[in-house]
Amino acid sequence: MPSPFKTQQTAPLADKRPVSDTRHGITRTDDYAWLRADNWQEVFKDTSVLDADIRAHLEAENAYQDALMADTKDLQKVLFEEMKGRIKEDDSAVPSPDGPWAYGSSYKKGGQQPRFERMPRDKTAEALRDQRTIILDGDEEAEGKAYFRISAADHSPDHSKLLWGYDDKGSEFFRLRVRDLETLADSDDDIADTVGGGVWDAACEGVFYAKLDANHRPSKLYYHKLGTQQSEDRLIFEEPDAGFFMGAGGSRLNDFVYINIHDHETSEYLLLRADDPLAAPVLVAKRETGVEYEMDSGGDVFFILTNADGAKDFKIMTAPVDAPQKENWTELVAHKPGRLILSVQAYANFVVWLERENGLPRIVVKDRASGEEHAIAFEEEAYSLGLAGSYEYDTDVIRFSYSSMTTPSQVFDYDMRTRERALLKTQEVPSGHDPDDYVTRRILAPSHDGAQVPVTLLHRKDTPLDGSAPCLLYGYGSYGISIPASFNTNCLSLADRGFVYAIAHIRGGKDKGFAWYEDGKRAAKQNTFKDFVAVARHLAAEKYTSADRIVAQGGSAGGMLMGAVANMAPDAFGGIIAEVAFVDVLNTMLDDTLPLTPPEWPEWGNPIASPDDYRTIAAYSPYDNVTKAAYPSILAVAGLTDPRVTYWEPAKWIAKLRALNPEAGPFLLQTHMDSGHGGASGRFSRLEEIAFGYAFALKVTGSAGQ
């Protein structure tokens, strides 16, 4: 297929300024290391200090991609209006009861940001509309800001105050404020450089929060007493190991504050009594490499979800509240290989957990008195199930959500005692949606070693499956994250234009249990990439599409996947979209000053300390393995203030691809100069970004005129 990209504008060629590095007797030369700003910490907080040469290059790349995509401007507008038309603009969440109030969120027509609200409990829908109070208006707070994101809006246990957080740079240095829920005025309390949320003490006189250091790592837990300056805050706990994340959480009973320390394979909890905020934290179980646990307070006992003692797919234990140490743990729900327990919640009369078996989720409810169990499940071939639970502890009613690729999201209240479910809300699609017009399927694709990779498909009933249909193939495959088969109104714009929309549930996620994750990390990471290529080839072989009509898409670690498969099998794809792409894996894992590097070593390996890890990462790191090849068209997206995947990773990757392959591609780089990892913060601005990516997919496959 001839290239659909035509422009008179010359592609930017980045200067080569070689920098050599020798590790474990191996010397590598990086021609584009200069694109990494030495003052990146300052840039996260003030983009005006970015080096002039770097800014000039990024702006040249933006101008180039803008020129190549200029003929899709009208298409982007059409796609945006379609996707916007499927959103109920003045949508609202079902309020969740807590004591005398119910708390919820909504959007106003045309609004970009959510509004948080509360209303008297147990009123009719008509009365709620009249009696609700907007306690935080995101649109008002965002006014005049290029970027704005609310991270939290947590009411105090006595319902008198609201702790809320925001980021107005995209760098995820969140600021916390405290609002009086009677006057709706913010106090003078102003807490900077946090992870975005906090936990109230029992008396509602102060909050616990984790503070980020200069390298964007949460290593210190502070207690802030209301009415004081942040400089006076009390240091409660400090985690000295830069390889671990640290955060705080609260219990449903408001009796404990959990200090959670973890990396991607090991965890440790310390406990604080919420009514004694300055007491020394109590250790639950000392960290052991590879052992994870999390806990929820159940009055006289803790319920503990753990993989200890070889329980690879997790089991549930209990421990006395006054003696929660590991030697006092007692098994409640045994480990069952292949049944992955994802989360557990405790209530006065029941304990509830979410599990996944054979790729499908279900909710299990256990009566604490009788021990009787029952499950909540659905019959579709592929679906998504979410357990929202409840604010309240002494309740028999929990909330959950359900959807599938064809079924709009539904929200239910479920009475655990009577086993009755009440449908509270079905997602509205204002422009119309008929599930019968679409087909969703779960198929299996054989990988290189015989592993059967699940694939979720969505397409219109009338889409010809003779190899002519274009396909967008999405993948992630890292950190044990599973991609749900949930309803997504945006992808209908592709399905309605004849696309097959596919999700590859590759190794590195937990879609088929914990072993599926382990078989796609560190030394086994190549399985992730080979699975994705195998899915692409299977879809073509089975005539769902053809190789030159497949556009692969992934973001963050999924962007690393995109870079790896581009090197491994460029002939398997007609185009690739790599968003905030983690493509410079080796250099990043060698730079222990970057925010996420030490905590990421358990996932990828530590190439500083281990020659084997160095060679493993060097063998697949997308940037290091770019060669001269017939690469397909590639769109890379970056955020200048992104602390997770720094902007220079995709910038370096595109520069190297273009230098080695001037006749291939083309290679496009779009850098958002005023946002970070999550892209635009407003709901409609985000739709514009999705429309841009979809326009690229349509153009690459020759479908832009549809």
| Strand duo 397-403 + 330-333: pairing | unpaired
Expressed in angstroms, the distance from the first to the final Cα of the chain is 18
Q: Looking at 229-377, list the stretches that DSSP marks H as alpha helix, in order from N- to C-terminal side.
A: none
**Assigned token pair, 85:** 């038309």
Residues 335 and 315 sit within 8 Å (Cβ to Cβ) = yes
Residue of 553, 539, 548, 544 whose CA lies nearest to 572: 548
Rounded to the nearest 5 percent, the helix, strand and coil shares of the chain are: 25, 35, 40
Rounded to 10 deg, the angle between the 526-541 and 557-568 helix axes is 70
**Residue 90 annotated among the catalytic residues of the structure:** no
* Bond preceding residue 666 cis, omega within 30 of 0: yes
Q: Looking at 553-700, list the stretches that DSSP marks H as alpha helix, in order from N- to C-terminal side.
A: 557-568, 585-589, 597-604, 611-620, 648-660, 683-700
d(C-alpha 364, C-alpha 366), whole Å: 7
d(C-alpha 410, C-alpha 400), whole Å: 8
**Residue 612 annotated among the catalytic residues of the structure:** no
d(C-alpha 224, C-alpha 232), whole Å: 8
DSSP-derived secondary structure for 69-100: TGGGHHHHHHHHHHHHHTS-TT-BPPPEEETT
**Assigned token pair, 63:** 């101008």
- Name, in order, each residue with C-beta under 8 angstroms of 370's C-beta and a sequence gap of 6 or more: none
- Given 105, 171, 677, 681, the catalytic residue: 677
**Residue 449 annotated among the catalytic residues of the structure:** no
**Assigned token pair, 276:** 């004694």
Residues 377 and 365 sit within 8 Å (Cβ to Cβ) = no
- Unique residue bearing structure tokens 């000039």: 56
Region class of 532: left (phi > 0), else alpha (psi between -120 and 50), else beta = alpha
Residues 424 and 417 sit within 8 Å (Cβ to Cβ) = no
**Assigned token pair, 2:** 């001839």
- Name, in order, each residue with C-beta under 8 angstroms of 662's C-beta and a sequence gap of 6 or more: 11
What one-letter code names the amino acid at 159?
H
71 CA to centre of own chain: 32
269 CA to centre of own chain: 23
d(C-alpha 538, C-alpha 536), whole Å: 5
- What are the φ and ψ backbone dihedral angles of 702, each rounded to 5 degrees? 70, 25
- Given 267, 556, 621, 675, the catalytic residue: 556
Q: How buried is 345 (Cβ within 10 angstroms: 0-12 exposed, 13-18 middle, 19+ buried)?
A: buried
Residues 595 and 560 sit within 8 Å (Cβ to Cβ) = no
Q: What angle do CA 412, 434, 81 make, to 5 degrees?
A: 95
- Name, in order, each residue with C-beta under 8 angstroms of 359's C-beta and a sequence gap of 6 or more: 382, 442, 454, 505, 511, 512
- Given 486, 531, 642, 681, the catalytic residue: 642
Catalytic residues: 556, 642, 677
